[in-house]
Amino acid sequence: MNGKVMPSVAIHQEGRPSHPGSRGVRVALYTFGCRLNQAETAVIEQSFRRSGYQVVDIGEPADVVVINTCTVTENGDADTRRLIHRVVRKNPETRIALIGCQAQVQRDKLLQMPNVHWVVGNADKMDFLSILQQGLPEEPVVRVSTIPRTSFTIPVAGIDPRHTRANLKIQDGCDFFCSFCEIPFARGRARSREFEDILREARQLVAAGHHELVLTGINIGTYADNGRTITDVITALMEIPDLWRLRISSIEPTTIPDDILNLMRQESKLCRHLHVPLQSGSNRILQQMKRKYRAEEFAQFIRSVSQKVPGICLGTDVIVGFPGETDEDFAETYRLLKELPLAYFHVFRYSRRDHAPSRHYHPPVDWHTIRRRSRQLRELSARKRRLYYQQFIGRWETVLFEQQKGDAWTGLTDTYIRVKVQSKRRLHNQLLPVRLNRIDGQTMIGTLP
Ligand code: SF4
């Protein structure tokens, strides 16, 4: 372990005051897991830039590598280990900071890993800049505090120069305690961001050129701040003049107010896209999972949304191999997903988590069965996506362009269809009408007027 203290000479970058200790220090950041983690990393990265640190890509030599971890599945744990080994192999001098969900629930395990100088849980990770500014410790610094239940603010805007869309964090934590999920332990209980603070960051993100914002959180439908709900947040955000689009990320099925659907059908700035986790189509398994609905209620909800908001893109999550999931349970899930007007689903293999009550459930489903079931669902999802796309052939939709590859540009419709067009013009961050002509895998090929 290197016990040196960071150099303490101030520099100025991008016209902002730098902090003593930031001079020439190269920091790389990497995010595992969900959109919320991405939103938080963007904020932490901005705080480094504003303080004069040099932010570099993860493959480049760095003095400090900050890894924002995820603990939703065992894969998340293995991914962190692999990344650490890759970083250390390339640069044995790098100091590593492990922050976020894994740090919150597995600090002792993480401290065994090479080059780890900081383990910082979710309560403290947004302050990682000030922890780093205290210099390099002789011993690893561990900050894993109890996560407060109060509402919160985020002082720095997560402007993300690499992406067109920006994530906007409005909520954190969860009180639902689904039996398979470690989130209430890793991220604490549900709490909301102060309403005005959300608007302030949103205005800054839009002014910086992010014309599409994605609302993120763990259980955003439970947003509550001084009587304000998620509908109030959406309505206020839609007033921002240069905001073109507002997208809701994952939202629990029992928490979606009708007002949101009405806004979507009015062709407002609110994208016609909802990602509503189902997890299982078997009532027996849903009950074991401690989900808050039965399969028929979920089905009725999805059907009514698809009628109320024509063309809406509805996606879902599903877990295969939950303990005790029989062939019949799986068949019910498969049937339900097949019948419902869903455009795609994300399939997760059940993962036993140390803090989740389901770790005691039996019998485990064998690995081959989990693999077969998840393959079947992935194939079904690909067919459903194609079916969903077909209704758009020949139609004009607006696309917000993001990336260029050769002469081709890609972007998204509000209904989350990735569209590719040929153009020699620079289309980055432009919202343009496109005629959708055909399907090519998970993309639609279109033409500009
Ligand atoms: S709703 Fe359930 S699955 Fe989602 S974060 Fe909360 S406890 Fe986890």
Cα(303) to centroid(ligand 1), Å: 23
Do the domains at 26-143 and 396-447 have one common CATH topology?
Answer: no
Neighbours of 304 (CB within 10 A): 12
pLDDT of residue 406: 87
> Which residue of 179, 218, 287 sits with most ligand 1 atoms within 8 Å of its CB, as the best mutation to test the pocket?
218
Q: Find out whether the beta carbon of 361 lies less than 6 Å from any atom of ligand 1.
A: no
pLDDT at residue number 8? 24
Strand partners of residue 141: 118
Residues of the chain with pLDDT below 70 are 1-23
Q: Report the atom number in ligand 1 closest to the C-alpha of 290.
A: 2
Q: List, in sequence order, every residue forming a beta bridge with 61; answer none if it has no partner.
A: none
**Residue 74 pLDDT:** 80
CA of 219 to the centre of ligand 1 (A): 7
CA distances from residue 365 to 57, 101, 201, 323, 372 in whole angstroms, order as listed: 40, 26, 45, 6, 11
Ligand 1 pocket, residue 70 CB under 6 Å: no
Tell whether ligand 1 has an atom less than 6 A from the beta carbon of residue 39: no
Using CA atoms, how far residue 67 sits from 53, 111, 157, 216, in Å, is 16, 14, 20, 20
At residue 65, the pLDDT reads 96
CATH fold group of domain 26-143: Rossmann fold (3.40.50)
pLDDT of residue 138: 76
CATH topology of domain 165-390: pyruvate-formate lyase- activating enzyme (3.80.30)
Domain ranges for the chain: 26-143, 165-390, 396-447
Per-residue pLDDT, 76: 77
The CA angle 396-399-400, to the nearest 5 degrees, is 165
pLDDT at position 135 is 82
Q: Give the Cα separation of 184 and 48 in Å (integer).
A: 29
Q: Is the CB of 97 under 6 A from ligand 1?
A: no
Q: CA–CA separation, 235 vs 183, rounded Å?
A: 28
Which tens digits make up the pLDDT trace of 90-123?
Answer: 999 999 999 999 999 999 999 999 999 999 999 9
- How is domain 396-447 classified at the CATH fold level? OB fold (Dihydrolipoamide Acetyltransferase, E2P) (2.40.50)
The pLDDT assigned to 347 comes to 97
